[in-house]
Copies of this chain bind each other. A is one copy, B any other.
């Protein structure tokens, strides 16, 4: 029993790790004391130039473990041998986790203010993803559902565009977004897909129910499989015949709709 609980704790910890790579992003993360770091990985084949020495010194002063591995092993860690430049860094993000875990949590906690999430369906532009995180965090959204495929993934560009808010925002990873949304719907959430053709406006969405707003791809909108899991489609009313807004703008208007 103890073993199983230890295993679960360990698993939860490893689920919260985000590995970034590349010399500049890794150095920047090491220099930024607000970024929680678990482990620095260096390819043993790296020439120990100034940059590598600086990383080692920073890791030592921050008491961060350094692991040296061969080039192949490092590729497995970074999952991007083309761009890792022999360097990877595990960030321990307290708010980085899994959608199914969030659902379990919700099931056990007593009634509170209904939660509100954004779900991203095919958001491919890292700049947009970073801006969405920033706005959602500032607007007080409870988390962002980010599927493992089909969306931009959290990488140095996204971290930069989020201007540090990524480390404060609950990012909930999932496999297939459509399946995850089905699970949330079963658990009582209303799933609102954003669509410029919708009848219902954002204002009309009930705010006494847990709600997930689904933001679709920058060009094609919400995918069919995901639209099938939506209880309703919702639009933001626009003037002057404008047909769409930038997806990060849409995310902000949702996140702040009761604030501003």
- Contact check: which of B165, B238, B254 meets A240 at CB < 8 Å? B165
In the assembly, how many copies of this chain are there?
Answer: 2
- Contact check: which of B202, B238, B252 meets A245 at CB < 8 Å? B252
Which among A49-57, A131-139, A176-184 touches the partner chain?
A: A131-139
Contact (Cβ within 8 A) A137 B240: yes
Contact (Cβ within 8 A) B240 A138: yes
What residue of chain B has the Cβ atom nearest to residue A163's Cβ?
B244
Contact (Cβ within 8 A) B249 A131: yes
Contact with B along A81-117 (1 / 0, CB 8 A): 0000000000000000000000000000000000000
Which of the four size classes fits the interface of chain A? 20 to 34
Contact with B along A193-233 (1 / 0, CB 8 A): 00000000111000000000000000000000000000000
> What residues of chain B lie closer than 8 Å to A137, measured between beta carbons?
239-240, 242
> What residues of chain B lie closer than 8 Å to A241, measured between beta carbons?
168
Contact (Cβ within 8 A) B259 A256: no
> What residues of chain B lie closer than 8 Å to A165, measured between beta carbons?
240, 242
Contact (Cβ within 8 A) A236 B256: yes
Chain B: minimal CB distance from A217 (Å): 15
Known: A137-B242, A140-B240, A242-B134. A202 touches B249 (CB 8 A): no
**Pairs A-B, 3 closest by C-beta atoms:** A140-B239, A138-B242, A138-B238
